Amino acid sequence: MNPIRPTIPLDQPGKHHGFLRLPHSRNDSAWGSVLIPLTVIVGSEGPTALLTGANHGDEYEGPIALQQLAWELEPTQVQGRVIILPTMNAPAFRAGTRVSPIDQVNMNRCFPGRADGSVTQKIAHYISHALVPISDLVLDYHSGGKTLDFLPYAAAHYLNDEDQQTACVAAMRAFAAPWSMMMREIDAVGMFDTEVEAQGKVFVTTELGGGGTATAASARIAIRGARNLLRHAGILSGEVEGAEDSRMLDMPGDDCFHFAPSDGLMHPLADLGERVSEGQALAQIWPADRTGVAPVTVTANRAGLVAARHFPGLVQSGDCLAVIAVEVD
């Protein structure tokens, strides 16, 4: 049995702030706990939305948007229920790291988790088995963290269930980010996305920037997107704003991903949002430890738009250097 317990009710009318409490005995606190902030807002009858941020601890648009939503939303505005986890990977968020400093586990590669596993696995298990099943709609915020930068987009995935995919795409478009992406994952095993979709839920994720920070623009996109999604679901009243302005992108194949073949100093030759042709040079990688050696040039596998790029100036062999997406009508 999972030891995590909520300190507030999940189904009582009203607005409740508390935590998911995970007992965690550690060297400096024998009967300590990991506390994961939680807000539950229950209004009149209606669907349930689960909104999550900081699946990775160095991605900030989600926590910003969800902190504001948890503060501002009132039960009288809600037709249904909103469950908010601004920092679902609380240990990683506090450390400002992608993975948890407690167990070094990447939360977004360990779903559906384990009730008897490590701290991160227990959190993933509770969310998978206690929160996702009672939800109709799930929004999981992401951005590039410290190592990637993205065009700001909301995303859905290609699914075997055509009706479920249609519902996810409609929700993605309702989020109304500047870009909307039919997203392809390098490896979807263990992802929160995969678990939620396997349970038949409507799922939307995002990539809203990167570099290990948020901007005023990316925060505005995140806040408006959550409200739009709740309006789309009928949980909030009002019309979705700006969906007609979102431009559609697709990642049609694995050749969208470009990886660094060597370590070194990245010299970008195409910027985020720039259109490139097949074979065009995307970046050069100079050696970091000597001069007089020719750089390695990475070229585009296909024509399209640079939708993501490596953020730090130094790259390691195997790092994702760039992602090229295709703009569609």
Could you give the domains of the chain?
A: 5-250 (3.40.630.10), 254-328 (2.40.50.100)
DSSP state at residue 303: S
Q: How many helices, marked H, and strands, marked E, lie in the chain?
A: 6, 19
CA 136 from centroid of its chain's CA atoms: 18
What is the per-residue pLDDT for 73? 97
Buried b (16+ CB within 10 A) or exposed e, 156-172: bbebeeeebbebbbebb
Q: Which residues fall within 8 angstroms of residue 254, CB to CB, at 6 or more apart?
A: 184, 186
Instruction: Render each residue's pLDDT in the chain as its tens digit; 329 residues.
Output: 999 999 999 999 999 999 999 999 999 999 999 999 999 999 999 999 999 999 999 999 999 999 999 999 999 999 999 999 999 999 999 999 999 999 999 999 999 999 999 999 999 999 999 999 999 999 999 999 999 999 999 999 999 999 999 999 999 999 999 999 998 888 889 999 999 999 999 999 999 999 999 999 999 999 999 999 999 999 999 999 998 999 999 999 999 999 999 999 999 999 999 999 999 999 999 999 999 999 999 999 999 999 999 999 999 999 999 999 999 97
d(CA 150, CA 156): 16
d(CA 108, CA 190): 6
Token pair for residue 52? 């999550």
For strand 296-299 and strand 153-157, is the pairing parallel, antiparallel, or unpaired?
A: unpaired
d(CA 285, CA 198): 40
pTM above 0.85, yes or no: yes
Using alpha carbons, select from 73, 48, 86, 15 the residue that is nearest to residue 235. Answer: 48
* Sign of the alpha-carbon dihedral angle for 177, 183, 189, 195: positive
Asked if residues 73 and 86 have their Cβ atoms less than 8 Å apart, the reply is no
What is the per-residue pLDDT for 319? 97
What is the per-residue pLDDT for 185? 85
* Sign of the alpha-carbon dihedral angle for 139, 104, 152, 296: negative
- Degrees to nearest 5, angle at CA 229 with 141 and 42: 95
* Cis, bond preceding 261 (omega within 30 deg of 0): no
Asked if residues 246 and 172 have their Cβ atoms less than 8 Å apart, the reply is no
Specify the DSSP element, H or E, that contains 182: strand 179-183
d(CA 150, CA 288): 25
Q: Using alpha carbons only, how large is the chain's radius of gyration in Å?
A: 20
